[in-house]
Amino acid sequence: MDLLLLSEEDIQRLLDPESLLAALVEGFTALSAGKVIAPPRQEIIAQSGSFLIMPAWQPQSHAAVKMVSLFHGNYQSGLPAHQTLLSLFDARHGTPLAVMNGNSITALRTAGATALSVRLLARREARILTILGTGVQGKAHAQILPHVRDFQEIRIASRDFVHAQQLAASIPQAHPVESFAEAVRGADVVCLCSSSGTPIIEADWLSTGVHVASVGFMPPGGELGHDVISQGTLFVETRLACEPAPVGCSELAGYRPDLVTELGEVLLGLRPGRRSDQELTVYKAMGHAVEDLVTANLIYQRAVQQGLGQIVKL
């Protein structure tokens, strides 16, 4: 059996923002149209952390299975809290095709989905972007979001101001801000990219017509408060986001699914996106396997075409 191994460096070379966004449009459209098979996310609780399993498939594509370990105590050992492998299988014969660095794919596809929400939902004249959090997701969001809006100012804030300074120094038009409240006030787009188990912003910090995106996953709590959710129009990848974790998001557990709109429904014209410049729009990401599926298929196709990666025999 020949298996293609793709590293973080390979993935960075093979994936560009515009192609990623196009793949996510395809994935979310298929998901809302009922054309994606993706069982609910499964979790195994271990002594020091947990493991998540996320499979998905749609016709005319290979099948993908992502395996994620969540060990938040790893920071003390200098290891990532999230470590991920993504496997691709030929859907005709079930033959394993590739194993990819899932950390890189997760960061890029998550930030790409946020960027898509900004493209669909943020006001056209949005010019000030705030990113709260400077970890893997904060960095990916800072890189991808300028591709969907012409931001004239990017504010970076972190619990550790030194980290905000470091990330801001690597991003054009970016500058560090010392407090979350200062970073949020007056912003047109606010991205929450933390690992906080409690809300990190307050609704009265938000300007009229702001778009808020939250990607943090920290059951049983979360970074997005109910005061923000209750005042806005809520958008998700899938209504499964309203299920309890690990299937959905802790912040949305018990929220009425009929009150949320899927990004794919906006793309298909089935439900409206932003309806006025005064509306608060809120995108809460749960992280759905369809994002991994379309991204992995795109990467694999390009890797084969360009001869990248390492072939191993099993």
The mean pLDDT value for 159-171 works out to 96
Does residue 235 have a pLDDT over 90?
A: yes
DSSP 8-state class, residue 1: -
Per the listing, tokens 């808020």 go with: 212
Summary mean pLDDT of the chain: 96
pLDDT digits (tens, 9 = 90+) for 21-58: 999 999 999 999 999 999 999 999 998 999 999 999 99
The mean pLDDT value for 269-281 works out to 97
pLDDT-based confidence at 159, cuts 50/70/90?
very high
**Pairwise CA distance, residues 64 & 89, whole Å:** 6
User: In order of start, what are the domains of the chain with their CATH numbers?
Assistant: 2-105+290-313 (3.30.1780.10), 121-287 (3.40.50.720)
Does residue 233 have a pLDDT over 90?
A: yes
- Rounded to two decimals, the pTM is 0.95
pLDDT at 191: 98
Does residue 76 have a pLDDT over 90?
A: no
Burial state string for 37-46 with b = 16 or more CB within 10 A and e = fewer than 16: ebeebebeee
pLDDT digits (tens, 9 = 90+) for 48-75: 999 999 999 999 999 999 999 999 888 7
Percentage of the chain beyond pLDDT 70 is 100
pLDDT at 74: 87
Does residue 273 have a pLDDT over 90?
A: yes
CA distances from 231 to 107, 118, 275 (A): 28, 18, 14
Q: Is the Cβ–Cβ distance between 18 and 113 less than 8 Å?
A: no
**Pairwise CA distance, residues 1 & 312, whole Å:** 8
Beta pairing, strands 128-132 & 42-45: unpaired
Q: Is the dihedral of CA 187, 118, 239, 288 positive or negative?
A: negative
Does residue 254 have a pLDDT over 90?
A: no
Q: Coil, strand or helix: which one is 176?
A: strand
Does residue 1 have a pLDDT over 90?
A: no
DSSP 8-state class, residue 172: T
Q: Is the Cβ–Cβ distance between 56 and 37 less than 8 Å?
A: yes
The mean pLDDT value for 181-190 works out to 98
The mean pLDDT value for 217-230 works out to 94
